Chains A and B, each alone.
Chain A
Amino acid sequence: MNSFFSTWSWKMAWRDARSNKKRLFVYISAIIIGVAAQVAITSFRDSLNTTINNQSKELLGADLEIETEQTPPDTLKAYFKELGGDQSTITEFPSMVLFPKTGNTRLANVRALTGNFPYYGTLETMPTEAALEFKSTPSALVDQTLMTQFGISVGDSVRVGRFTLPIGGALTKVPGESAATAMIGPRVFIPQSVLDSTTLIQRGSRVEYKQYFKFDDQRDMEPIEARLDSLEDHLAIDIDTETIAERQEEIGEAVSNLGKFLNLVGFVALLLGGIGVASSIHVYINKKISTASVLRCFGASSDQTMSIFLIQAVVLGFLGALAGTLLGVGIQYFLPSLVSDFLPVDVELTISWLAIGLGLFTGTGVALVFALLPLLALRKASPLYAIRTLDESITSLLDNKVKASIYTIIVFTVFGYAFLLTESWQTAGLFTLGIAGAFGLLLVVAKLLMQTVRRFFPSHWSYVWRQGLANLYRPQNQTSTLMLALGLGMLLVSTLYFSQDMLMGELQFANRDDAPNLIFFDIQSDQNEPLNQLMEEQELPILQNVPLVTMRLDSLRGRSVQAITSDTSSHVRSWALEREYRSTYRDSLINSETLLEGEWTGRADPSQGAIPVSAAQEIANDLNLEIGDSLTFDVQGVPVQAYVGSIREVDFRRVQPNFFMLFPAGVLEQAPQIYVTVTRAPNQEASARAQQAVVQEFPNVSAIDVSRILKTINQFIDKISFAIQFMALFSILTGLIVLGSSVTTSRFQRIKESTLLRTMGASKKQIIKILSVEYLFLGLLSSFTGLLLSVSATWLLGYFYFDITFVPNGWVIIIGTIVVTGLTILIGMANSRSIYQRTPLEVLRTETT
């Protein structure tokens, strides 16, 4: 290690680097982009976290939120009064809204507000004063995106239920909510005073009652939450609370998860850069063997000779990391535009010293770790190579144990850094395994390729083709490096593309001729018949008309839900225990349901004992249900004894109401219920017409326009995949740089033979052809391999994760292969210009030093 700090080593490193600038730039260029990706994401994550901390109170808009799914009982109201402070109430529910000016309807998220909420941050509106005036006017605030979509302006009116009111302002931002919220459910704020006039709050309506508090004192939230917990038990209702700290943690976690994912995608670019470093330094050190040996002859120790190149590796790695870091700091200013729709805050970008430090450290570290193999091998270079040439690659001097140790160090570095990024052993392990698997597969393919070409060499082909093809397996070829760099880049990018394609393809079900595309829900019992008649008048078929009974689980296998949730050793998922079940009843299974276990009973008599119900496989898993397990449901105050009669598979992807719990006929008919009607509109106009007619006549009934939802999902996936593809772009860029650097380093290998060929009379055209053939095969095979691996990866993803059979698009494979192959040839030829554009002597004098 002393040699590393000796003046002589640094002097020699500098002297040697002077005339190798170009080659050394190739060495550092590969890591610049990878480091930039890391720094950009980490900086952005840091800025986002700082913003969330600075704006924590605005995330909730109040000090405390208490939410119930029914009108707060008097006891709870009394407690609200006891809590004091400034209070606001929001009654929030989904409902159709209609714009009389254009006749457009849309399912919206209606919020009836009383009080001064938000206490922190503001409801941002155009005009600004609308946020303050809408409660007294009274008027509505409508999401700006919705108004733009339907060509509505401030001053026009909106009908909510049976009440029409003027639009006082366009809503642009609600504290703590992202712009994407408007895509899912556009928000409409109305004053609480007009809520009754809408007549929308009826039996079965899905309403959330939210009470917001602002305390002037530094109130301790813990005793409040404890008291609310005991009230929840006492009143037997769901009471959810949220404090600023909880909201901050929740959002912080979501942001951190997004950041971790993007960091990992960016890390692939850094790894690709590592391969580039490994490849170029390997070739570089190979050329330095004779220099090292001569120095050894004159008395330099093995450490001294290695130090010269170690210093170069460290300094250049640092310079590459520095360049990448500066680039990354610049790129972070572009990132907010990619993900701003998903963020609940406007990010205040700051310089993150942590990100800068991390970028410099990882960039230098990756460059060093990937350069270890040839550097350590150089220590083994005997001074004898000054008088005898070493015919093999320098790494052949290392014994297998040392090589294995270096590979282990690389694997642990990857794992360690992935852990640093994700803070999860499991994710870091899976990531490392996945990357190692992909590397391994690509290397195996490269090896097989070289063996195959060698074994089945087409000796009858023309000289130019034979020469180009033989370059694939000749000593010091670049086949493995290019296969890795190009293949991995292709694998990553095309897996992202294929996955998106697969998901979108699956979601196109609404376009099938027979698939339902319009669902009406929240239909009251007395509205069911008239609404079905209306459908007939609109000439829309009723594909399904099912009753829906809301209920909760009271006990499972004889133990109360409360007892199970407070039992820490229980494996039953609490969401499944505590959720509100919307079940139906019928005498038969439908074609989207398949019986898996037990026996389906179509009709039952409650007076004969417990009712056999059928549980969907998913809920059966989460509740650990087995055939015969007893269940007690609380059907709106009435206990119903049941047991698991059967477990069935349900195709939840079908556009229709699907049920976790299915009751037989004869049990729930008398229970309070609402209906759902499923139909298919032949086109957008018919769909809009039907929705308008329903809203006019049954304002409380809501409609889900499936094609609109698909459009929203499409927009969502587009936005998310753009962010991911942006990060993947770093990998493609690095892939191209590594390709360029590999080609440049392989040029040093090819230069002598090309010059010899020219000396012996080969024409410029022949040299170009030979090089083109080599790059053609390299590009063709690496891109094709990367694509094939990505097809396999997407298929596995579809099969195990999304439960979709993936059918790849042949054109994507063909076009992808052609584009990447073309790029490989282009970059290859551009980097080899000097070989065929200058005279042999000129080349030998300049390139071989």
Chain B
Amino acid sequence: MDVSTILEASNITQTFRSGDHQLTVLDQINFTISSGTTCAIVGPSGSGKTTLLGLCAGLDRPTKGDIKLNNVALGPLSEDERAEVRNKYVGFVFQTFQLVPTLTALENVMVPLELRGQKTEDVSEEAIELLTEVGLSDRLQHYPSQLSGGEQQRVAIARAFINKPKILFADEPTGNLDAETGATIEKLLFDLNEINGTTLVLVTHDLSLAKQCKRTIHLKNGQIEKDESSSPVKMEQINN
């Protein structure tokens, strides 16, 4: 694995048992992603996008093959060891935001660092800074149910960046938002990614969002149909 490679998927196959049948969701997937790049995984519903994202992030184990994340082979690791890897190197943004409903915006953002054993008073300043960056300085003590969809996703982005991840996985980050809010979120995501030098892997249906990435992997029926690299199209260009 190249030093600049942050993610390497080798011969990934994922099958599920559905009644008497064996269902192959991913079939012999191979790719590597370089550090600092942006990559979109696109494809129709049921093509295996979310499954691939879950495997790459170490949320699940592949039936066959191996994933290396920041030079760490995830295969031999236990679930708790994988959790440690995620805490150190990975950030997440979900389509349904997935904020902890019983925590305030500020507390939600602090969780990844608190999990490392850092004290609340030590991390709160950083979390407030990030929330201010995403434009929510006046919403620190609000619970998710008191925030709009766009605001919730901004909290989720702040949470994703607080542990300074090497790689950020985003699952349809704008899928639950209207176009205008979605555009704001996209900008925020790419801007923060650039500032922090994070690798971004996102799963989306939205081709205009995918076009903003340097690389696009097209999935169909569990296989890579096309893997194309391009100059990312900036948001402003799309809008023009």
Binding site for B on A (CB under 8 A): 8, 11, 15-20, 290-291, 294-304, 382-384, 386-388, 845-846, 849
Contacts and interface: CB of A to CB of B under 8 A. Distances in A.
Interface string B139-178: 0000111000000000000010001000000010000000
A298 B80 CA distance: 11
Contacts of B80: 301-303
Instruction: Please name the 3 residue pairs, one residue from A and one from B, whose CB atoms are nearest each other, closest first.
Output: A299-B87, A301-B80, A849-B101
Interface string B81-122: 001101110101011001111110001000110111100100
Given A8-B115, A297-B92, A299-B115, A383 B83 contact: yes
Contact of B59 (A18, A382, A849): A382
A386 B94 CA distance: 8
Contacts of B86: 297-299, 383
B188 interface: no
Contact of A304 (B95, B115, B145, B171): B115
A384 B59 CA distance: 5
B54 A19 contact: no
B240 to A, nearest CB: 34
Given A384-B59, A384-B60, A388-B50, A296 B102 contact: no
A290 B103 contact: no
A663 B99 CA distance: 91
5 contacts: A294-B94, A296-B59, A297-B59, A300-B87, A383-B83
A468 B143 CA distance: 34
Contacts of B129: none
A383 B59 contact: yes
A644 to B, nearest CB: 74
A294 B103 CA distance: 12
Given A8-B115, A304-B115, A387-B53, A19 B102 contact: yes
Given A8-B114, A15-B102, A19-B143, A387 B54 contact: yes
B60 A382 contact: yes
Interface of B: 50, 53-54, 57, 59-60, 79-80, 83-84, 86-88, 90, 92, 94-95, 98-103, 107, 111-112, 114-117, 120, 143-145, 159, 163, 171
A304 B111 CA distance: 12
A600 B35 CA distance: 108
B114 A297 contact: no
A18 B102 CA distance: 7
Given A8-B117, A298-B86, A298-B111, A387 B143 contact: no
A845 B145 CA distance: 6
Given A291-B100, A295-B100, A387 B94 contact: yes
A298 B94 contact: no
A387 B100 contact: no
B84 A11 contact: no
Nearest to A845: B145
A820 to B, nearest CB: 36
Contacts of B95: 387
Contacts of A849: 101-102, 143-145
A846 B80 CA distance: 34
A846 B145 CA distance: 8
Provide the main secondary structure of the chain A interface. Answer: helix
A291 B96 CA distance: 12
A15 B103 contact: yes
A20 B83 contact: no
B75 to A, nearest CB: 16
A298 B112 contact: yes
Contacts of B117: 8
A72 B87 CA distance: 93
Contacts of B59: 296-297, 382-384, 386-387
A18 B107 CA distance: 13
A17 B100 CA distance: 12
A303 B80 CA distance: 9
A562 B32 CA distance: 99
B22 to A, nearest CB: 19
A849 B112 CA distance: 21
A307 to B, nearest CB: 12
B41 to A, nearest CB: 13
A695 B90 CA distance: 102
Contact of A298 (B54, B87, B120): B87
A384 B61 CA distance: 10
Given A298-B112, A386-B92, A387-B171, 15 more contacts: A8-B114, A8-B117, A15-B102, A19-B101, A19-B102, A291-B100, A295-B111, A296-B59, A297-B57, A298-B92, A298-B159, A303-B80, A304-B115, A387-B94, A846-B145
Given A291-B102, A387-B94, A302 B50 contact: no
A387 B116 CA distance: 23
Contacts of B101: 19, 291, 849
A67 B27 CA distance: 96
B182 to A, nearest CB: 19
Nearest to A846: B145
Contact of B83 (A17, A19, A290, A300): A300
A390 to B, nearest CB: 13
B128 to A, nearest CB: 17
Contacts of B145: 845-846, 849
A106 B175 CA distance: 93
B50 to A, nearest CB: 6
Given A8-B115, A297-B59, A387 B50 contact: yes
Contacts of A388: 50, 54
B60 A296 contact: no
A295 B92 CA distance: 11
Contacts of A20: 102
A312 to B, nearest CB: 11
A294 B100 contact: yes
Nearest to A379: B79
Contacts of B54: 384, 387-388
Contacts of B115: 8, 295, 298-300, 304
Nearest to B79: A302
A15 B111 CA distance: 11
B171 A16 contact: no
Contacts of A297: 57, 59, 86, 90, 92, 98
Contacts of A296: 59, 83
A299 B111 CA distance: 9
B49 to A, nearest CB: 10
Contacts of A304: 115
Contacts of A384: 54, 59-60
Given A296-B83, A298-B111, A384-B59, A11 B120 contact: yes
A299 B83 contact: yes
A358 to B, nearest CB: 34
Contacts of B107: 15
A20 B100 CA distance: 13
Which of A8, A294, A298 gathers most chain B CB within 10 Å? A298
Nearest to B162: A298
A16 B102 contact: yes
A362 B84 CA distance: 37
A290 B94 CA distance: 12
Contacts of B92: 297-298, 386
A180 B79 CA distance: 68
Nearest to A19: B102
A845 B144 CA distance: 10
Contacts of A382: 59-60, 79
Nearest to A296: B83
A39 to B, nearest CB: 33
A386 B172 CA distance: 13
Nearest to B99: A294
Contacts of B57: 297
B131 to A, nearest CB: 16
Contacts of A383: 59, 83, 86
Contact of A299 (B60, B88, B100, B144): B88
A19 B94 CA distance: 23
Nearest to A18: B102
A299 B120 CA distance: 17
B217 to A, nearest CB: 18
